[in-house]
Amino acid sequence: MTDRVARRRILGAGIAATGAAVFPGLGTAIATANPNFALGTPDGFDRYFGPDRVLDVRISMDPAHWDELRHQTRTIQGLIQQRDSGLPYESPFTWFKADAIIDGQQFEDIGIRKKGFLGSLDTEKPALKLRLNKYVKGQELPGGFKRLTLNNTLQDP
């Protein structure tokens, strides 16, 4: 086993140990939550990301916006120009409105944008950032989850 494969297995085991759920065809989901909830409680992390759990996420949005979102990208040339400017890297990704059903709970007007820096960018299966409260204040999953990250796992073997 190569060092690279061993590192991937260790990283994968670490992700699994933290309770992240793997979405068939979408990737790994990670959430930002309210610090006031307790792990292992019904409203806590295990409710959505327990090791024996797959979170069902369904997203609907305007097809033209989806097409625009998935074709947004950054280039090496743009990164070099930003680096040379001395300014922080700006995201080329814009937020769009979408609706989502997460584990049967309906959310309207969530924020969705493409995620990635360079290596995992893809137009067919983009990684996504979801903000449930981007356009509707206070909108969240029970337990205080306001954000989800859906990775595309393109770099996994």
> 46: which residues sit within 8 A by CB, 6+ positions away?
19, 39, 40, 53
134 backbone φψ class: left, alpha, beta (φ>0; ψ -120 to 50): alpha
Q: Which residue has the higher pLDDT, 33 or 150?
A: 150
- Mean pLDDT to the nearest integer, 9-13: 39
Residue 63 phi, psi (nearest 5): -55, -35
Residues 139, 133: contact at Cβ < 8 Å? yes
List, for residues 68-93, the tens digit of each pLDDT value.
Answer: 999 998 777 777 777 788 877 777 89
* Predicted pLDDT at 83: 78
* Predicted pLDDT at 32: 47
| Per-residue pLDDT band at 16 (split at 50, 70, 90) | very low
What is the average pLDDT value for the chain, to the nearest integer?
Answer: 75
Q: Helix, strand, or coil here: 10? A: helix
| Per-residue pLDDT band at 119 (split at 50, 70, 90) | low
* Predicted pLDDT at 84: 81
Residues 47, 27: contact at Cβ < 8 Å? no
| Per-residue pLDDT band at 120 (split at 50, 70, 90) | low
Is the pLDDT score of 124 beyond 80? yes
List, for residues 37-56, the tens digit of each pLDDT value.
Answer: 455 555 567 778 888 888 89
What pTM, to 2 d.p., does this model score?
0.67
